[in-house]
Chain A
């Protein structure tokens, strides 16, 4: 594996993992109830 391959792989994985971690951190620490209280389901 070449140096350029390493750079492209690490940057791509880092970008995606960083974005995913950031998004889940924001979702899990978001203010307000985590559930949709009063959700009603019309399934049988």
Chain B
């Protein structure tokens, strides 16, 4: 150790970086589909409940743990959890906070490269669905298959490397170039530029969508208000039911909780890592709430008004309910084909998605770089190189097993759906019951302008959030794990994906062991003390 510690450059910079981490493809493609398919506007009731009872408390918990890391001069999840838990065993639990960002990055960057490929194709005119509207869906599907390789496994199709490989290489190079520049000069500077550009692109597309003329086809005439109505009108889940019956369906509440988890990037350990680069006296409550609010703005105010209304306007119900990737990469190109100046708006849309994705993927890399620096004493160059090699192998696994996106789907399920719930539960239980909810509250309030009452904070952290989380985890597993577990038992790609996850976890556990020996026993230092930097770095 003994290396200079990094910090964010500005107060706004860290907020934009954390918001950039949270705002991703799911804000624009996953949320609208979830809302429209789970009661329409009524979905917002369980959604906001989940935000208040799960999302915000977990954000506060991760920001508070990051603050503890900042005080001790450590930034990696194992080192921070060791400090919070006061025992070296927690460092091994922290390996989950390395596993999930790494594995999620392995497939997320591939999806990111699709966005770049689409943006480039719109810019150059390569994405042309032809002159026959009856063949738009077929052409859009074929283009997506060409970009993603979803038609078959392998890197080579018809004697040549498929397009996604080139765009993947460019995307990977951009990610590692930025991460190599460091927290302030790389991530923060990029997010300070990317977030306003994303906002501008989304607003331009939003204005275009809201001013579109009515469309007429065999099914009738549909205007923008009909599109907004399809998204926001309360509607029953099943024919013949009352719309309010949707609120009595546990799957609707489960979908809302899952969406909140997914969208806020909680349960990955990335917020904790970013928060640890704040100066220790900074206000984590306000910063965390502002970052969450920014994410919600992109999701509800932009994602909720653009995607589904535009798809419904041009294509009706079938186009609007095409699933996350179907909606984003098959339906929307058809919408842009119909739309006046669609090539320009298509470029703006997919370029915005690319920026949203890269600000998220950077946050998946930084926690591991910080760990390699702290645990092994690597310089940034060596840490970035090791991470690059490891993730490239994972990327190749995802790209190779591209048929029906099987590798991507399995990794996403075990990490971004099950894993974040498990790790989120461990985080909040650690902070509330091991570190102490009252100590956590006192620490969070240091330097804070927004000051939640102690009883609210402790009640949420000790009882409400863990209970809701465990119920959600149990219900999620009950409804979803069966199919994936069955596929796992049958072998093939699901089993390879699980083997990859286990191998990465084992690798990190070994490295945590090395770091644990290097760091020595955890010293029980009162959380409000702030020892000198040298002492902190000598004993994380």
Contact = CB atoms under 8 A, between A and B. Distances in A.
Contacts of A17: 297, 301
Given A5-B232, A44-B380, A36 B40 contact: no
Given A36-B8, A39-B8, 13 more contacts: A9-B231, A12-B44, A12-B300, A16-B293, A16-B296, A16-B300, A19-B293, A20-B290, A35-B9, A35-B11, A42-B5, A42-B6, A42-B380
Interface in B34-62: 40-42, 44, 48
Interface string A2-44: 1011111101110111011001101110100011101111111
Contacts of A39: 6-9, 184
A42 B382 CA distance: 13
A40 B6 CA distance: 6
Nearest to B243: A4
Given A4-B233, A30-B283, A35 B296 contact: no
Interface in B291-308: 293-294, 296-297, 300-301, 304
Interface in B429-450: 449-450
Contacts of B480: none
Contact of B5 (A5, A8, A40): A40
Closest 3 CB pairs of A and B: A8-B41, A43-B182, A1-B229
Contacts of A4: 41, 233-234, 243
Nearest to B450: A26
B301 A13 contact: yes
A37 B233 CA distance: 50
Contacts of B12: 27-28, 34
Contacts, number: 127
A44 B180 contact: yes
Q: Number of contact residues on B: which range applies?
A: 35 or more
Contacts of B234: 2, 4-5, 8
A40 B7 contact: yes
A26 B293 CA distance: 13
Contacts of B11: 27, 30, 34-36
Contact of A1 (B180, B233, B300): B233
Given A5-B234, A12-B41, A42-B182, A20 B3 contact: no
B181 interface: yes
B228 to A, nearest CB: 5
A43 B201 CA distance: 31
Given A1-B229, A2-B229, A43 B41 contact: no
Nearest to B39: A8
Nearest to B281: A32
A5 B184 contact: no
Nearest to A1: B229
Contacts of B294: 20, 23
B226 interface: yes
B25 interface: no
Contacts of B297: 16-17, 20
Contacts of A9: 41, 228, 231-232, 304
Contacts of A24: 290
A2 B229 CA distance: 7
Contact of B279 (A2, A13, A19, A36): A36
Contacts of B219: none
B281 to A, nearest CB: 9
Contact of A23 (B9, B10, B290): B290
Nearest to A37: B279
19 contacts: A2-B234, A4-B234, A5-B41, A9-B41, A9-B304, A12-B44, A12-B48, A20-B296, A27-B15, A28-B12, A30-B286, A36-B278, A40-B6, A41-B4, A41-B183, A41-B184, A42-B4, A43-B6, A43-B182
B180 to A, nearest CB: 7
B289 interface: yes
B433 to A, nearest CB: 29
B454 interface: no
B276 to A, nearest CB: 13
Contacts of A41: 4, 6-7, 182-185
A30 B11 CA distance: 10
A30 B243 CA distance: 44
A31 B290 CA distance: 16
A24 to B, nearest CB: 6
A2 B233 contact: yes
B42 A8 contact: yes
A18 B225 CA distance: 24
B523 interface: no
A17 B297 CA distance: 6
Nearest to A43: B182
B296 A8 contact: no
B450 A8 contact: no
Contacts of B4: 40-42
B286 A27 contact: yes
A34 B228 contact: no
A23 B291 CA distance: 9
B381 interface: yes
B251 to A, nearest CB: 19
Given A4-B41, A5-B40, A5-B41, A36 B290 contact: no
Contact of B10 (A19, A34, A38, A44): A34
